[in-house]
Amino acid sequence: MVGILTDTTASIPGELAGRLGIEIVPYYIHRGLETLRDMMDVKPGEFAEWLKGASRLPTTSNPSPGDYLMGLRHLAERMKEIVVLAMTSKGSGAYQSCLAAVDMFRGQAPEVQVEVVDTLQVGMVQGWAAVESARTALAGLSFDEVIHRAREVAQKGMMIQTADTLRYLYLGGRIGKAKHLVASLLNIKPLIGMQDGIIVALGTARSRRKAYHRMVELMQQHVGEGARIKIAFTHVAALEHLERLRPLVTARFDCVETIVTDLSPALAVHSGPGTVGVNFFSI
């Protein structure tokens, strides 16, 4: 069977990752003199509460080649084929770090086949690619079919999220092509997404309610009204806001599978408390 490896920014619920046997390596959060392993030393709820009052944002860093190497070795104890799904290479050094680890690993275990997929995504679109490829592997399909499924979901998937402010993305240096929105008034709710592996602006709205309706419109443009989709709702300390968005989505689409999950703290640093997002693909 094929093993699947990804990182914590995929924001896959722990129980689901465990059930599917997905190996996950941590990003890092540097808070003052502390270095915290994402989703291990720090959990989403407690981190979001701390972030609300932080006067200075922590920084983040991607897994090291050693982290990926450890994950590869762990999977290789029971797998002879491994697919690694990395966050967009255009927004993080994780992809290059992973390639370095795979080069080392191939020298140590040449009998194990490894393929690295640059998802050009982040969050639960990356997560969906990992989940669906793991399900393909569990169904007994071939190495090539698992790789194909990972790439297919990553390419079809779309992330849209909105937050109270772009302050966290801006201060964290991850604003990308959405930089021109920084000067917007505080009551403007930005909508952002990913295009070709880069964070981009998808528009603004004057209120959360209008932002949620705009998110649904963007979803319709991407897959068509009434489409059959798998969707993950993500949030940063904003479950009550997420529950206002959810019925707007379920009324317009056939949601074959729905997941609700926290963004990992390593992503919450850049998006901030109050973030709500949809991560979906058509089936």
In the numeric block, the tokens 């994950």 are attached to 71
Q: How far is residue 207 from each of residues 113, 178, 186, 190, 238, measured CA to CA in Å?
A: 50, 19, 11, 10, 15
Per-residue pLDDT of 149-169, as tens digits, reads: 999 999 999 999 998 766 665
Q: What is the pLDDT of residue 37?
A: 98
Q: Catalogue the E-assigned strands of the chain.
A: 2-7, 23-25, 28-31, 34-37, 59-61, 81-86, 113-118, 158-162, 189-195, 198-205, 228-235, 254-262, 276-282
Structure tokens at 232: 């993950």
What value does the mean pLDDT of the chain take?
Answer: 92
Distance of CA 171 to the CA centre of its chain: 20
Closest CA to 25 of 68, 54, 56, 66: 68
Q: What is the pLDDT of residue 12?
A: 98
Q: Which helix (H) or strand (E) holds 15?
A: helix 14-20
Backbone phi, psi, residue 28, to 5°: -125, 145
103-125 burial by CB neighbour count: b if 16+ within 10 A, else e? eebeeeeeebebbbbbbbbbbbb
Backbone phi, psi, residue 166, to 5°: -95, 5
Q: What is the pLDDT of residue 172?
A: 55
pLDDT less than 70: residues of the chain: 165-187
Q: What's the whole-model pTM score?
A: 0.92
Q: What is the pLDDT of residue 204?
A: 87
Q: How many whole angstroms separate alpha carbon 52 and alpha carbon 213?
A: 26
